[in-house]
């Protein structure tokens, strides 16, 4: 039976008859034997193999080049070499799949741009192996967080007819060969890929109290930044009987606990990030876990930015969206910690947010973190039927399209609140990776839809 390299390296005793399989990272030949390093992606480290010239399968050794796949049987012995505890003394080698000379990962280090062009092979590099193992771990940490608190995981639809964020940045769904007449819609009305599971999530919160969604979302914004993707994953908790303060509290605990789980995880992957990707990563993450997040109203934040004397590219004015440079200034320079900005102007926020008593702002909040800017956007929802109707009509939404959403306010309406955390932005935060394209297995961005 095959043992993973990770299991082998974690062994406390020598053993005979071990079988491993993986891809050759390097091979060095001497007169009577060869050294191979084999990695199977189960952990960052590879396993050192020593194969004497006489062992079974050695006749294929020249084909066991970098990138080829092999299986090795052998005995595990303490390694005299530095930097590794075990090595495998091969008793038999099997070439599973050779890799000709044009295998693109021959060199030790390649730049991220080059590796993006070979998204199908980059998980075989140290950095991307570590990123995608961490992605998996972070996804599990999300479920742990909510499980501990009794939240129900709800799968909201990917195909929808509503535009939650009202920004009109949607990918329309078309069909080929469904024999539709001109102007006829497959679903009876125009449909598109969801930008958020929130509205459907709200209906479940107004029945099961505390729920969360975790799934892919799609935005057709033509933004060419290192923090925007056309397809990304979002986690959206929704809580009935909850106001904005409870929402901000949950958001803060969520970011802290996810960060803590990564700090507590296997040290090898995290060590790679803190050594090679971002030297400030560990102190920054410890600060995020230890310090309470600052909280500041949008109105005060605008004042801080205006009084900062900082030369921003985009002007700051009450009633305008905060730009990324403004967000970064608030978290990195002014607060020197994550900061939750709340009570934004109604005019720049979607229809579902609860109107405040000042009639100018809504109970919205964004969590901004150093190095990224906005990582979470959320709000208390408008639970008053008449106010919601008013908001919808100002937003140009037709009531008949959202009857089900209005029903929640008609039948047993309750205060409720929630937020969305961008999963990839969180992953960028905990790994120090600077470009969202490098934390998504197959990134989709304007102009790019690789394998």
Question: Applying CB under 5 A, does 415 fall inside the site for Mg ion?
Answer: no
| Shorter beta-carbon distance to ligand 4AD: residue 23 or 351 | 351
Give me the least distance between CB of 47 and Mg ion, in Å please. Answer: 45
Task: Identify which of residues 218 and 329 has a Cβ nearer to ligand 4AD in the complex.
Answer: 218
φ, ψ for residue 259 (rounded to 5)? Answer: -60, -45
Distance CA 211, CA 213 (A): 7
Least CB distance from residue 261 to ligand 4AD, whole Å?
A: 18
User: Which lies closer to ligand 4AD via its Cβ, residue 72 or residue 429?
Assistant: 429
- Residue 283 Cβ vs Mg ion, minimum distance, rounded to whole Å: 27
**Maximal C-alpha separation, the chain:** 85
Question: Does the footprint of Mg ion cover residue 443 (CB under 5 A)?
Answer: no
Binding to Mg ion by residue 338, rule CB under 5 A? no
User: What is the number of other CB atoms lying within 10 angstroms of the CB of residue 418?
Assistant: 25
Minimum Å distance from CB 238 to ligand 4AD?
7
Based on the shown chain and the rule CB under 5 A, indicate whether residue 377 belongs to the binding site for Mg ion: yes
Residue 192, Cβ density class (10 Å: 0-12 exposed, 13-18 middle, ≥19 buried): buried
**Strands 15-29, 69-78: parallel, antiparallel or unpaired by DSSP?**
antiparallel
Cβ neighbour number for residue 412 with a 10 Å cutoff: 10
Q: What is the helix (H) or strand (E) element at residue 231, kind and residue range?
A: strand 231-240
**Closer CB to ligand 4AD, residue 70 or residue 375?**
375
Q: Of all helices (H) and strands (E), which one includes residue 365?
A: strand 361-369
The residue (of 67 and 418) whose beta carbon lies closer to ligand 4AD is 418
Of the pair 125, 160, the CB lying nearest ligand 4AD is at 160
Helix ranges (DSSP H) in 16-125 = 112-116
What residue ranges bind ligand 4AD (CB under 6 A)? 164-165, 196, 198, 219, 221, 228-229, 232, 234, 236, 374-379, 418-420, 422, 424-425, 436
Query: Which residues are registered as beta bridge partners of 23?
Result: 39, 69
Q: Does the protein bind Mg ion through residue 350 (CB under 5 A)?
A: no
Query: Which of Mg ion, ligand 4AD, none lies near 138, with the C-beta cut-off 5 to 8 A by kind?
Result: none
Binding partner of residue 42 among Mg ion, ligand 4AD, none, CB under 5 to 8 Å per kind?
none
Strand blocks (E) in 279-357:
294-297, 339-345
**Backbone CA torsion sign across 423, 429, 430, 433:** positive
Cα separation, 76 vs 88, whole angstroms:
5
Q: Which three-class secondary structure state does DSSP give residue 260?
A: helix
- Residue 97 to residue 48: CA distance in whole angstroms: 19
Measured from the CB atom, is 18 or 258 closer to ligand 4AD?
A: 258
Shortest Å distance, C-beta 80 to ligand 4AD: 48
Q: Closer CB to Mg ion, residue 22 or residue 370?
A: 370
Please state the closest distance from residue 386 (CB atom) to ligand 4AD, in A.
Answer: 22
Binding site partner of 420, from ligand 4AD, Mg ion, none, Cβ cut-off 5-8 A by kind:
ligand 4AD
Crossing angle for the helix pair 198-208 and 403-410, to the nearest 10 degrees = 30
Site membership for Mg ion, residue 422 (CB under 5 A) = no
Cα–Cα distance measured from residue 262 to residue 135, given in angstroms and rounded to the nearest whole number: 10
Which of ligand 4AD, Mg ion, none does residue 236 bind to, with CB < 5 to 8 Å depending on kind?
Answer: ligand 4AD
Min dist. Cβ of residue 379 to ligand 4AD (A): 6
Q: Binding-site residue total for Mg ion (CB under 5 A)?
A: 1
Residue 418 within binding range of Mg ion, rule CB under 5 A: no
Interatomic CA distance for residues 225 and 230, integer angstroms: 11
Q: Which of 5, 36, 34, 37 is nearest to 20 (CA)?
A: 5
Distance from the Cα of residue 127 to its chain's centroid? 16
Which residue, judged by CB position, is nearest to Mg ion in the bound state? Answer: 377
Taking the chain, what is the end-to-end CA distance rounded to the nearest angstrom?
A: 32
Nearer to ligand 4AD, 79 or 435 (CB): 435
Nearer CB in complex with Mg ion: 57/197: 197
**Taking CB within 5 to 8 Å according to partner kind, which of ligand 4AD, Mg ion, none is near residue 229?**
ligand 4AD
**Contacted by 218, from Mg ion, ligand 4AD, none: CB < 5 to 8 Å by type:** none
- Nearer to ligand 4AD by Cβ, of 78 and 167: the residue is 167
Instruction: Find which of Mg ion, ligand 4AD, none residue 378 binds, CB within 5 to 8 Å per kind.
Output: ligand 4AD
- CB of residue 438 vs ligand 4AD: minimum separation in angstroms? 13
Transcribe 135-189 into DSSP letters: HHHHHHHHHHHHHHTTPEE----SEES--TT-S---PBP--SSS-PPTT--TTSS
Cβ atoms of residues 352 and 206 within 8 Å: no
Q: How far apart are CA 325 and CA 309, in angstroms?
A: 14
419 binding partner (options Mg ion, ligand 4AD, none; Cβ < 5 to 8 Å by kind): ligand 4AD
Residues engaged in binding Mg ion (CB under 5 A): 377
């Amino acid at each position: 039976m095959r043992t993973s390299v990770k299991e082998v390296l974690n062994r406390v005793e020598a053993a005979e008859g071990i079988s491993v399989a993986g891809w050759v990272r390097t091979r060095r030949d001497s007169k009577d034997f060869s050294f191979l390093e084999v990695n199977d992606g189960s952990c960052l480290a590879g396993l050192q193999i020593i194969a004497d010239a006489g062992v079974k399968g050695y006749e294929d050794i020249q084909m066991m080049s970098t990138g080829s796949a092999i299986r090795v049987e052998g005995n595990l012995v303490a390694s005299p070499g530095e930097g590794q505890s075990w090595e495998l003394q091969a008793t038999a080698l099997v070439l599973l799949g050779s890799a000709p000379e044009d295998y693109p990962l021959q060199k030790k280090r390649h730049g991220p741009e080059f590796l993006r062009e070979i998204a199908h092979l980059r998980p075989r590099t140290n950095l991307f192996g570590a990123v995608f193992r961490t992605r998996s771990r972070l996804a599990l940490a999300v479920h742990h967080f909510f499980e501990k608190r009794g939240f129900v995981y709800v799968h909201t639809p990917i195909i929808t007819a509503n535009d939650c964020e009202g920004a009109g940045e949607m990918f329309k769904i078309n069909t080929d060969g469904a024999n539709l007449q001109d102007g006829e819609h497959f679903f009876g009305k125009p449909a598109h890929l969801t930008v958020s599971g929130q509205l459907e999530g709200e209906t479940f919160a107004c029945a099961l109290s505390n729920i969360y969604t975790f799934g892919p979302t799609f935005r057709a914004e033509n933004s060419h930044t290192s923090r925007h993707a056309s397809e990304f994953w979002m986690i959206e908790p929704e809580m009935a009987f909850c106001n904005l303060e409870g929402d901000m509290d949950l958001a803060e605990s969520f970011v802290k606990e996810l960060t803590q789980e990564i700090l507590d995880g296997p040290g090898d992957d995290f060590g790679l990030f803190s050594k090679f990707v971002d030297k400030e990563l560990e102190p920054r993450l410890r600060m995020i876990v230890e310090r309470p997040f600052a909280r500041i109203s949008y109105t005060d934040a605008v004042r801080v930015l205006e009084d900062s004397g900082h030369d921003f590219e985009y002007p700051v004015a009450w009633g305008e969206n905060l730009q990324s440079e403004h967000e970064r200034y608030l978290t990195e320079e002014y607060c020197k910690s994550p900061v939750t900005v709340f009570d934004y102007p109604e005019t720049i926020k979607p229809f579902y947010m609860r109107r405040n008593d000042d009639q100018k702002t809504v109970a919205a909040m964004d969590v901004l973190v150093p190095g990224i800017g906005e990582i979470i956007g959320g709000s208390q929802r408008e639970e008053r039927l008449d106010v919601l109707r008013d908001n919808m009509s100002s937003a140009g939404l037709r009531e008949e399209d959202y009857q089900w959403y209005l029903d929640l306010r008609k039948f047993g309406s309750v205060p409720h609140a929630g937020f969305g955390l961008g999963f990839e932005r969180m992953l960028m935060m905990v790994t120090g990776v600077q470009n969202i394209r490098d934390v998504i297995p197959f990134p989709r961005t304007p102009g790019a839809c690789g394998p």
